Structure 1
Amino acid sequence: MNAPESNGADPSSGPTASSPHQPIDLPWTTVEHYLGRGLGASYRLSATDKPFVSYEIADGGRGIALHVEIGGRHRAPRSPLPAVHIDQVAQGGRRMARLTTPEPELLRDFHDLLLAVADRIVVDGQELDRAFDETVHGWSALLGKPRGMSPQKRIGLHGELAVLARVAQVSGWRAALDSWVGPIGEEHDFALGQADLEVKTTASEPRRHTIHGVGQLSETSGRPLWFASLRLTRGGAGGRRLGDSIKATRDAAAAENIALGRRLDWLLAAAGWDPDQLEDERWTPRDSPLVLRATDMPRLTAEDLPAGSIGRIDHVTYIVDVTGLPPAEQSPVIDLSELTLP
């Protein structure tokens, strides 16, 4: 396998040459090195006498792709998966099928999928359509019963921990843990003094967030509800893994009182955290959170439903985009500017 073509980055580790008996080896840490620094790179995975197959890392940390040469009358196969797109591009005078994902939270898992497809092409000599179909079929059978937290939930927990640590800086860990009510089934994530706070975190460029239910952005008992939109980006070697942030948070809580460390463990388990779940994605805040009053943003509440529908509509999930909305002039909850991951 050829060395990467890039704009100057020097990752600590890289892929090794493939052979008919050796699977492709492109560690995620290498890919993350480029993504975290916003650098592009191209790894040729196929031998020089074989149809061109390459792993592409886009400039600006915008994502990853697999390029597979298609010749003759062949067309790029269609993807049955909404999280995997396949289209056709030109590269170096060749017709190439390009596999990408529109979901930045899934890049780590998508990386493994791309290598599995490439391995079937480069090592086993399969055509792209068969390699893709076999990989999707195998993964679907294996993951019929998902285990652990989804990538979106891990991103969300990371954001909540950042807010939790900020609350602890102001009020101490006992009060901070008292305020973190989302894991115990309350409608909103934090109950802070005289106001509530809902925290949403995304790894995408737009501030698009999934809202679960008509009550998630509704004020309760006359308490003001505030909404914090957090954006994370790939941090490379300088970023924080969720496990790192959890350990730092627990150590800080236990340093105040050992019982608080145990209480945090219980809250993390209630939130869905599995300490045995493997994860090696590193994140860093893209910018300061956008804080809004819930009443000043697009939302659905029970009052927006047609008359007579309460109790008959069982579940509502929608996506709200708050990109470009002006922040609240003053938040009565807590200052989240310059927020860092624990």
Structure 2
Amino acid sequence: MTEARVSWTDVEHYLAHRLATSYRLSPTGAPLISYEVEDGRRLCLYVQLGATESPARPTHEQVRVDEVRRAGLRMARLTTPLHGVERDFHDLLNAVAERMLVGGRSFERALVETLDAWEALLRRRRGLDARARTGLLGELATLGSVARELGWEEALRSWRGPFGEEHDFGLRDLDAEVKTTSSEEPRHTVHGLGQLTPTGSRPLWLVSLGVTRAGSGGVTLAQYVEHTRKRIQREAPGAGRRFEQALERTGWEEDHPDDERWRTRRASLALLVTPSFPHLGTDNLPTGMRGRIHDVRYDIDLSGLSSTQNAPAPLTDIRLP
């Protein structure tokens, strides 16, 4: 199969079903340029190297180029070690390939030009990165669950994360932190000592959500934003302004939507943060260290855990539409 560009819709299908595939981009008889979905997980671009050509050496740690042997050919393999950025990396691979196939650039020059162009764009660009987009999906899903139990006005008053509060949601008698991941395992990144530290005597709950790419089904973030907006307009029109203010503070912009489609991967978890819960916080650091440790970032693995018994109704059965 030979095409000038690979469609994200096709790639998303293979990623969603954990299938491998290969797209030859260069014409038959020309040096091989191939777009690959390896093991149904990793996106790569393979470029055949000339006899004296060396692979490009990017200075960006987020982009890797390795020299490999494949079917007897010397190939450069372009990959990224990052997870959760498949949609964006797909665009980068297509851009590099197009510079070679349409512009006649060498692999090294095509890669350098593409990275330089993206750097210039990102220095100006606003909006949400991949992690922030999935995070907003989870917060909107939680918002809808709270609204189901307490109504939209109360739900929107409780959505405090966008306004700089320590925790994402503050209900009448509890706080909740929402974590969303697109990985298979329920692993989440925690930012700071305060994120999983209860405030005063108020109980803190961690809501863990898992989402996965849905191929041709599911919902995009833009669709979910509009879905939520219409529900508010229909059921609590007076709360619409609060919703738009919160959206703006998350960094969401209507003119920067994405076309990734998502569905719920697994049942949500609602876990009460207790002294025995796996976390770092000012509540479980030795007293002498609390003023000396700053800017903590760590990952927690919730595999094998079940929701705490009698979890609050607004924090249970949270899912995408």
Decide: shared fold, TM above 0.5.
yes
Q: How is 1:104-119 mapped onto 2 (pairs within 5 angstroms)?
A: 104-119=83-98
Q: How is 1:11-22 mapped onto 2 (pairs within 5 angstroms)?
A: 15=3
Contact 2:268 2:319 in 1 (8 A): no
Contact 1:36 1:235 in 2 (8 A): yes
- C-alpha distance 272-196 of structure 1, shift in aligned 2 (>3 A): same
Q: 2:20 aligned with 1:25, yes or no?
A: no
* Separation of aligned partners in 2, 1:164 and 1:173: 8
- What's 2:295 paired with? 316
Which ranges of 4 or more aligned residues in structure 1 deviate by more than 4 Å?
303-313, 335-338
Report the count of equivalent residues: 320
Question: Per-residue displacement from partner, 1:178-201 (whole Å, max 9, x unpaired)?
Answer: 221111221111123422110011
CA-CA distance at 1:103 after TM superposition: 2.8
- What's 1:265 paired with? 244
* Separation of aligned partners in 2, 1:204 and 1:81: 24
CA-CA distance at 1:338 after TM superposition: 4.9
Instruction: Give ranges in structure 1 of 5+ residues lacking alignment.
Output: 4-14, 16-23
Contact 2:279 2:300 in 1 (8 A): no
CA-CA distance at 1:250 after TM superposition: 1.2
Contact 2:146 2:315 in 1 (8 A): no
- C-alpha distance 305-338 of structure 1, shift in aligned 2 (>3 A): closer
Q: 2:184 aligned with 1:211, yes or no?
A: no
* Separation of aligned partners in 2, 1:122 and 1:312: 55
- C-alpha distance 177-90 of structure 1, shift in aligned 2 (>3 A): same
Question: Per-residue displacement from partner, 1:193-227 (whole Å, max 9, x unpaired)?
Answer: 42211001122234332322211110012111111
Q: 2:262 aligned with 1:283, yes or no?
A: yes
Counterpart among 206, 213, 216 of residue 234 in structure 1: 213
CA-CA distance at 1:331 after TM superposition: 4.7
- What's 2:73 paired with? 94
CA-CA distance at 1:238 after TM superposition: 0.4
Q: How is 1:165-204 mapped onto 2 (pairs within 5 angstroms)?
A: 165-204=144-183
- C-alpha distance 110-121 of structure 1, shift in aligned 2 (>3 A): same
CA-CA distance at 1:300 after TM superposition: 2.0
Question: Per-residue displacement from partner, 1:223-279 (whole Å, max 9, x unpaired)?
Answer: 111112222211111021111111111111221121122321122112221112131
Contact 1:193 1:333 in 2 (8 A): no
Question: Per-residue displacement from partner, 1:95-153 (whole Å, max 9, x unpaired)?
Answer: 32222223332111111111111112222333322221221122212322331122211
* Separation of aligned partners in 2, 1:208 and 1:73: 44
SS in 2 for 1:210: strand
- C-alpha distance 336-196 of structure 1, shift in aligned 2 (>3 A): closer
* Separation of aligned partners in 2, 1:78 and 1:293: 47
Q: 2:244 aligned with 1:297, yes or no?
A: no
Counterpart among 35, 44, 56 of residue 36 in structure 2: 56
* Separation of aligned partners in 1, 2:31 and 2:88: 25
CA-CA distance at 1:337 after TM superposition: 5.4
- What's 1:72 paired with? 51
- What's 2:126 paired with? 147
* Separation of aligned partners in 2, 1:310 and 1:329: 29
- Say which is worse superposed, 299-308 or 42-51, in terms of deviation: 299-308
Aligned-residue Cα RMSD (Å) equals 2.4
